[in-house]
Each structure stands twice: as structure tokens, then as C-alpha cells.
Amino acid sequence: MSSEQLTERNGVLSGFVSYPADSTTLDGFLARPSDGRPHPGVIVIQEWWGIEPHIKDLSERLARAGYVALAPDLYHGRVATEPDEARKEAMALDRDRAVAEIQRAIAYLQEREDVQPKKVGVVGFCMGGYLTWKVAEQANEAVAVIAPFYAGGFRPTAEEIRQVTAPALVVWGSQDQGIPQSQREQIVNLLRQEGKTFKTLVYNAGHAFMNDTHPTYDPVAASEAWKELLAWLKQYLG
């Protein structure tokens, strides 16, 4: 059985929700416009920290832009505050299980009366960027558009790219030491080779430049990337 406890602020209702998944219950942070009308749905996939203030803020910003945003809690209540702690959480995460939980979050959005159309967008950051790609490979009938930001560890095969049907906005920082230019070029070449609809953005910034709660934040790159994200979502989701 689903439940939600949302608080209204500045035209947005937000808070944690619970929804059924097989024999258990999953949780996520939901933000939606408070106007009572239906809006397109967007899944927001966390960085390796968990559902920290940055992910909540991004979800609420999407709600202010006219979307019902849901960030599934892949760490089940745990939030890392130190890099070593975050690294351990990310390494311990069962990626296949995480993808399955994200797919259930997509289904939950599709079941909500305040979500229209029934296809949704998926946006992810860092580890969440990687998971965005993996979800797009498996849930292509439910996903209308994706936007993976600085997806660490994503080294796809042609077959994996072939399975992605959603238009992809792919965002990187040129100073990201974990994603070298050669890796970015390989992904672009595969997207082009497989005839995918995509757009790549490379900013003069480091890893996680969108996260204004960490030293890697780059306000100029973050502002421009946010505008591009909203334009991409509007074009392919509404």
C-alpha cells in the first residue's frame, strides 16, 4: 500500500513516499507541483551519497519546473557524509537490484493519477548516471527521455547502446579525472554508430559540478546544464 507525507513550500509539495514492490515496500523522495493538475514524471537517481539535500533540491527544482519528480532511495535510509563512506556504500550496492528498484519507481510514477503522460524521464548523477543508462537498456518502453550526468564507470558495448531507445542528453565535465576524453569519445562514437538520438555537453568543470553542497560545484556549468536539461525534458517529455 502506498503512503506519502508531503509538505508544501513555494508551490511545491515534497517529502518521502512509500510504495509496494513485490513482498516489500520501497521509499523515495517525491516532489510535485501543488496545483493538483497532472504533470510529466521524472525519476532522479542519486549520487553515491544517497538521498542527500542536493538530490532533494534537484527534485524540488524539477517540481517547480512542472514535473512530478521521484528519487528512489537506493540506500534504504542511509546517507553518506564522507567520501570513504560513500565509496563503501556504492561498492556494496547490488546494481541489478538497484535497477529493479528504479524500474519499480518508474511503475509507481506511472500508476499515479497526477502523472501524465505515462512514459517518464530518467535523470541521474555520478553513480546515478551509470544507473540511468542501465535502466534505459531494460525499461525502454516506459522511458521517454534520459539525461545521465558524469556517469562514472560506464563503458558500454555496442549491444548495450543499441538497447537504449530514449533520446539521451549526455553531460560531462572536461576536468573529470574519472571519465577521460577517450572514454567520452567511445560513447559518442557508439551512439552515432547505432543511430541514436542524443546530445552531448562537455563543460570546463570537474566531476559532480552540479552539486552545490560539495567543493566540486561549478555555478556557471551547473546553470547552463540545468537550462539544457529542462529544454531536453520539454522537447521529449512535455
pTM metric for this prediction: 0.96
With H, G, I as helix, E, B as strand and everything else as coil, classify residue 189. helix
CA distance 13 to 22: 27
- The string of pLDDT tens digits covering residues 59-103 is 999 999 999 999 999 999 999 999 999 999 999 999 999 999 999
Domain region containing 127: 3-236
CATH of the domain at 94: 3.40.50.1820
Residue 4: per-residue pLDDT: 85
Confidence at 182, pLDDT banded by 50, 70, 90:
very high
- How many structural domains compose the chain? 1
d(CA 193, CA 162): 9
- 22 pLDDT band, cuts 50/70/90, is confident
- Helix (H/G/I), strand (E/B), else coil: 36: coil
Tell me whether strands 24-33 and 68-72 are parallel, antiparallel or unpaired.
antiparallel
User: What Rg, from alpha-carbon coordinates, does the chain have?
Assistant: 17
